[in-house]
Structure 1
Amino acid sequence: MENLCNFGDLSFNIVEDKLSSSNDIFWETNKLSEMKNVKFSVEEDLGDYNGIESLCSNFGFFQDDPSQEDELLLSTDQQKYHQQPYQDYESFDNLHFDMVQFDEQQCPTKNPPLCDTKKDQQFYQTPPIEILKNYGKGFKRLSPDEGKIHHPENESKLSTEDIMKIAGTRFIQSSSLSESASGLILDHPFGFSFSGLSDEEKEDVSLAESLLACAEKVGYQQYERARKLLLQIESLSSKTGNPVKRVVHYFAEALRQRIDKETGRVSVSTNNMKKMGPLFDPQEVTKDLNPALVAFFQDLPFCKISMFTCVQTLIENVTNAKKIHVIDLEIRKGLQWTILMQALQSRNKCPVELLKITAIVTGNIETLKNIVEDTGKRLKDFARYLNIPFLFDTIIVSDLLHLREDLFKIDSEETVAVYSQFALQSKIQQSDQLETIMRVVRTINPKVMVVAEIEANHNSKSFVNRFIEALFYFSAFFDCFEDCMKDDENRMILESKYFGHGIRNMVAEEGAERKSRNVKIDVWRAFFARFGMVETELSMMSLYQAELMAKRFPCGISCTFDMNGHCLLVGWKGTPINSVSVWKFI
């Protein structure tokens, strides 16, 4: 993840590395001049909101050659879309899709669940030093030159994750040398040198190192010693400081809640959190809109990159289909389908005869039913405006265990695809529900299943392991907030209400109470394989779509793209955030 390269002119020609176990792709540098200076590394939607017009991003179609992007972007006075804009969809008029179109066993009955909350361990078995050493293949970017720590190339300051890496390195070395003579510690050539860091960075490193030491004490159940560290950490961190101080604030808050829970103490803050907890469910809240979520979607690149890449992949797999049926496992506001409609409307060789969207609805039925019905009406109106034959269907079940194949209205002439954008991770804790979904999908046997998920390991049974994984992941996100968010008020809402809730749940809770769980692509691969699914390559145009989308964001230069096998990892300054993969059944 550390090897960030600035390429010149790029052409997307795959050169297979037969010696690589991960089948990484390499990028040759011959054509596509518009891709110049794009960074590469080889190693949660929308509807009614009075500010939704801010989502328009001036994306345009181009049909054959991505190099013609600038010439073929739709202008704001294009007759088809702007002559008589539909009153409810003015906000979607400019959200166009840079589309490139071209021609192109039996399940085991007994398997271990993806998550077994009954066997969650409260305390780690692996020492935190070893976990830190193994995290991200070490701390290569921070290797010193004669005792100095240098900033990464072309960066004026260290990223939040880099601060955490330095803190991790110092924590490893101080722990390893704690029994050594003090003179030997002071003479150590690397870990205890702050050369090259600003005063603020030195403070941040010390603060993060104290947080790691506190987590270690909590892992060893040394709660009184941890409390003393927390007092200092809480006095130096803040929800209104820089990204390091903010992320440390929320992790310290989570550690405090865990300590209080384990020792039977209930502080005022912990009691308030418990009162608020059941009332706030991020999985439910993110299915509808509010200004902070709109800002998240608008200002941060990850959701749009994943969405547009998934739609590009889906459209390529239904190129010759006249009747298309997409099963959406988590439709939310359905913005992705307005994008798909625009892409289908531009198809000349094979005009679409029918587009059918089936949305699966589960959870708080009364609330979600109204949201999905509103989404369906909007999509129908939008399809009518584009003159696309369209059907919208919903499958409403109180529990996903009741999901059955016969609930789906599938025509033999339809080409069926399954779309899953951040839909599966919320079911990790309910392994039986996840199994049910996949068995039904397997029976339907779609032509393709497109999956976008969070690329992080927040499902570990080890407390310290999970703490460290979460710390690095959220550090990258808070760093991104700092660089990308335009409104401090929305940023504070997202960090305190949504991300703070996730941090507290991952750090302070265990067993069935720990609902925030994510797993990496390797775990999904093993899970999907049980249902006869095989991963297929993302096309070069899908990869290009991801890069093109990143370039639309002012902060997009800090997005990094890695390949793990055939899966695209979308990251922030080298830290994986999301994954996009495409699957077919054997």
Structure 2
Amino acid sequence: MEDLYRVSFSTVDENSSSSNDIFWGTEELNEVYKVQFSGAEDHRVYGGVDPFYSNFEFSPDYSSQEGNLLSTNQEKYHQQQSYHDYGHLDDILQFDMVSPPLQFDAQYPTTVPLCGTTKDEPHSTIPLASLEILKNYGKGFKRLSNEGKSLQPVVDSVATNEFVLRRLSTEDVMRIAGTRFIQSSSSESEPLPFLETHPYGFSFSGLSDEEKEDVALAESLLASAEKVGHQQFERASKLLSHCESLSSKTGSPVKRIVHYFVEALLQRIDRETGRGSSKDLQKDQSFDPEEAAKELNPTIVAFCEELPFSQISVFTAVQAIIEDVAEAKKIHVIDLEIRKGGQWAILMQALESRHQCPIELLKITAIESGTTRHIVEDTGKRLKDFAQGLNIPFSFNIVMVPDLLHLREDLFEIDPEEALAVYSPYALRTKIQQSDQLEAIMRVIRTLNPNVMVVAEIEANHNSTSFINRFIEALFFFSAFFDCLDVCMKGNDKNRMIMESVYFNHGIRNIVATEGAERKTRNVKIDVWRAFFSRFGMVEKELSTLSLYQADLVSKRFPCGSFCTFDKNGQCLLVGWKGTPINSVSVWKFL
């Protein structure tokens, strides 16, 4: 088979260990699986089993600079906010937190409402400048000390002009703009930001002209959002008109992201004033980015190949599964969002070289409730061919239901001798709005009682009922992504333009411009998932040092990988960009 990959194992010297004890711990890496990929000459063929992962391997070369999990000068200044930082829990996932953690009713007699029990609050009664969520950005971040042995708080960079020593990231610009906006809004006169010479707050000395323009533009955007939040639409429109004239789809990352947030705020004004057309509404609802991503079109492929987050999450998750089923001869994996199934090509290659415990059967079951059964069927055929090339006994099943409410445990072919694993790659977040469907999935999984469940999710809070909170969270989250695109792709790259103008633009508009049932982008952070999972008797399992090493190793394969940051939140791994959390990967057991 053309895109057959070769696999080999190697054992690392027992004395080899992570030099970064601060968060990975001091346990030695006694054995590392080494998977070397040598795929088809053109691994970008979108129909292939594994279009993304052919340039990566499972173990490092300890003689190289990659022996360190994190270099001592790598920045790590991310702030972790618990769900308490957002006020009431019903601003995020609306479910009852009364029952103690790790206690659950096996019969689940009542429904846990996840969404819709609390109405959205489209108009904030608190000025944007006074929100802790904005004040906290830029506070509480940590980074490695010069000795690389401890984490030290970052000195207030806005006050010390630390940022002038390096090029500002997009999030840096937003933090500076936020600080200046708070200062300006607390003054009695409340001058319009773009009409002033900025005599207060952060000094512009040392910044380039472009950075000064970006900070002023971002500050004006924040002022616009505040006016929209207070329904001061005429003043907001004037500010937005100014922002629109200075932003663009092809400028700096700040100018690009401001362009799309301006569009979203204008759309919100149109909807609240009744000026929005039904045609525009239908256009927004007709595009489903989740369904579009299943096809793995060239833009999605480029996004996964050139940005590190997807591959880091996949390799970390697969490593966790491999370790949990290390001694099983029959392995069954239930995939909640299989798409092209490239992750299982990685698993197969690891299993193919497991000589001490040869695999008797690998079974993959994909759950499908949408309109893309043909994609899943094609994925199954390719995986079967791939398994055949590796001489791995393989079975592929599809559990097809018209609605996840119809999901039942008897639809799965479960063998008591199987080691059962569940993989959820960004699948649960899409069901937050349909709390009954999310409930149905988790109840069935609980009944199946898998050995392990690995969950990858977006690490962001985009589900607050407060428009202002959502706006700030979305602004900083997408700022990190726009900054990453700027580092990893050229400014005029076609796929970058499509990713920003179609996929990210859709997410920004959905978070900022819509309310109620129309608002489908509802990501939540790991603390909220923990509280939810505890209701089903799920206990978090710590990711191994080897899994964490895989994450760092994959990041180093990217030219932009030095900007990836890692942190452990509880037992799980947070993957970030220049300190801003992007994804989480967590492993769960059932009581």
TM-score where L is the length of structure 1: 0.81
126-135 or 433-442: which moved more? 126-135
Shift of 1:289: 1.8
Match of 1:39 in 2: none
Q: Does 1:60 align with 2:57?
A: yes
For 1:507-522, list aligned pairs within 5 A. Answer: 507-522=512-527
Shift of 1:70: 11
Cα contact 1:417–1:446 (8 A) shared by 2: yes
In structure 2, the CA distance between the partners of 1:541 and 1:144, relative to structure 1 (3 Å rule), is closer
Match of 1:420 in 2: 424
| C-alpha distance in 1 between matches for 2:447 and 2:174 | 46
Unmatched tracts of structure 2, length 5 or more? 1-14, 31-42, 67-103, 142-152
| C-alpha distance in 2 between matches for 1:425 and 1:125 | 28
Match of 1:124 in 2: 124
Match of 2:447 in 1: 443
In structure 2, the CA distance between the partners of 1:188 and 1:29, relative to structure 1 (3 Å rule), is farther
| C-alpha distance in 1 between matches for 2:261 and 2:190 | 30
Cα contact 2:49–2:340 (8 A) shared by 1: no
11, 16, 29: which is aligned to 2:17?
A: 11
Q: Does 1:226 align with 2:236?
A: yes
Note the alpha carbon deviations across 1:516-541, whole angstroms, 9 max, x for none: 11000000000000000000100000
- Give the letter for the 1:274 counterpart: L
| C-alpha distance in 1 between matches for 2:155 and 2:233 | 32
- Give the letter for the 2:432 counterpart: I
- Give the letter for the 1:150 counterpart: E
248, 251, 255: which is aligned to 2:258?
A: 248
| C-alpha distance in 2 between matches for 1:68 and 1:394 | 44
Cα contact 1:141–1:152 (8 A) shared by 2: no
Shift of 1:31: 9.9
Superposed CA RMSD: 3.0
Note the alpha carbon deviations across 1:433-458, whole angstroms, 9 max, x for none: 00000000000000000000000000
- Give the letter for the 2:161 counterpart: I
Cα contact 2:49–2:345 (8 A) shared by 1: no
| C-alpha distance in 2 between matches for 1:496 and 1:10 | 46
Which secondary structure does the structure 2 equivalent of 1:119 belong to? coil
For 1:397-408, list aligned pairs within 5 A. Answer: 397-408=401-412
Match of 2:109 in 1: 109
Matched pairs, number: 511
Cα contact 2:538–2:589 (8 A) shared by 1: yes
Cα contact 2:566–2:575 (8 A) shared by 1: yes
Note the alpha carbon deviations across 1:319-368, whole angstroms, 9 max, x for none: 0000000000010110000111011111111111000000000122xxx1
Which secondary structure does the structure 2 equivalent of 1:67 belong to? coil
| C-alpha distance in 2 between matches for 1:68 and 1:386 | 31
In structure 2, the CA distance between the partners of 1:482 and 1:271, relative to structure 1 (3 Å rule), is farther
Which secondary structure does the structure 1 equivalent of 2:23 belong to? coil
Match of 2:34 in 1: none
Cα contact 1:459–1:518 (8 A) shared by 2: yes
For 1:163-182, list aligned pairs within 5 A. Answer: 163-179=173-189
For 1:545-556, list aligned pairs within 5 A. Answer: 545-556=550-561
465, 475, 485: which is aligned to 1:471?
A: 475
Which secondary structure does the structure 2 equivalent of 1:583 belong to? strand
Shift of 1:136: 5.7
| C-alpha distance in 1 between matches for 2:65 and 2:234 | 62
- Give the letter for the 2:162 counterpart: H
Note the alpha carbon deviations across 1:264-291, whole angstroms, 9 max, x for none: 113xxx6664342232101111111211
For 1:147-546, list aligned pairs within 5 A. Answer: 149-151=161-163, 156-179=166-189, 191-266=201-276, 273-364=280-371, 368-486=372-490, 488-546=493-551
In structure 2, the CA distance between the partners of 1:475 and 1:117, relative to structure 1 (3 Å rule), is farther
- Give the letter for the 1:11 counterpart: S
In structure 2, the CA distance between the partners of 1:483 and 1:273, relative to structure 1 (3 Å rule), is farther
| C-alpha distance in 2 between matches for 1:56 and 1:181 | 52
Note the alpha carbon deviations across 1:122-165, whole angstroms, 9 max, x for none: 122443222311346468857358x6522276xx3000000000
Which secondary structure does the structure 1 equivalent of 2:294 belong to? coil
| C-alpha distance in 2 between matches for 1:291 and 1:142 | 42
For 1:87-102, list aligned pairs within 5 A. Answer: none
- Give the letter for the 1:58 counterpart: N
| C-alpha distance in 2 between matches for 1:468 and 1:525 | 23
Note the alpha carbon deviations across 1:471-529, whole angstroms, 9 max, x for none: 00000000000001256111000001000000000000000000011000000000000
343-352 or 244-253: which moved more? 343-352
Match of 2:81 in 1: none
Match of 2:148 in 1: none
Note the alpha carbon deviations across 1:23-51, whole angstroms, 9 max, x for none: x836569999xxxxxxxxxxxxx995289
Cα contact 1:567–1:580 (8 A) shared by 2: yes
Cα contact 1:442–1:585 (8 A) shared by 2: yes
Note the alpha carbon deviations across 1:54-99, whole angstroms, 9 max, x for none: 745433355xx8637999xxxxxxxxxxxxxxxxxxxxxxxxxxxx
Which secondary structure does the structure 2 equivalent of 1:413 belong to? coil
- Give the letter for the 1:490 counterpart: N
| C-alpha distance in 2 between matches for 1:142 and 1:484 | 29
| C-alpha distance in 2 between matches for 1:359 and 1:51 | 18
Cα contact 2:421–2:450 (8 A) shared by 1: yes
Cα contact 1:238–1:246 (8 A) shared by 2: yes
| C-alpha distance in 1 between matches for 2:265 and 2:190 | 29
| C-alpha distance in 1 between matches for 2:122 and 2:197 | 37
Cα contact 2:294–2:340 (8 A) shared by 1: yes
| C-alpha distance in 2 between matches for 1:176 and 1:480 | 33
Match of 1:89 in 2: none
Cα contact 1:295–1:485 (8 A) shared by 2: no
Cα contact 2:125–2:230 (8 A) shared by 1: no
| C-alpha distance in 1 between matches for 2:450 and 2:27 | 36
- Give the letter for the 1:550 counterpart: S
Match of 1:83 in 2: none
Shift of 1:11: 3.2
Unmatched tracts of structure 1, length 5 or more? 1-8, 16-23, 33-45, 72-104
Cα contact 2:426–2:456 (8 A) shared by 1: yes
| C-alpha distance in 2 between matches for 1:60 and 1:569 | 21
Cα contact 2:442–2:536 (8 A) shared by 1: yes
- Give the letter for the 2:168 counterpart: L
| C-alpha distance in 1 between matches for 2:288 and 2:197 | 51
- Give the letter for the 2:135 counterpart: K
Shift of 1:193: 1.9
Cα contact 1:150–1:196 (8 A) shared by 2: no
Which secondary structure does the structure 2 equivalent of 1:534 belong to? strand
| C-alpha distance in 1 between matches for 2:391 and 2:191 | 79
| C-alpha distance in 2 between matches for 1:51 and 1:277 | 31
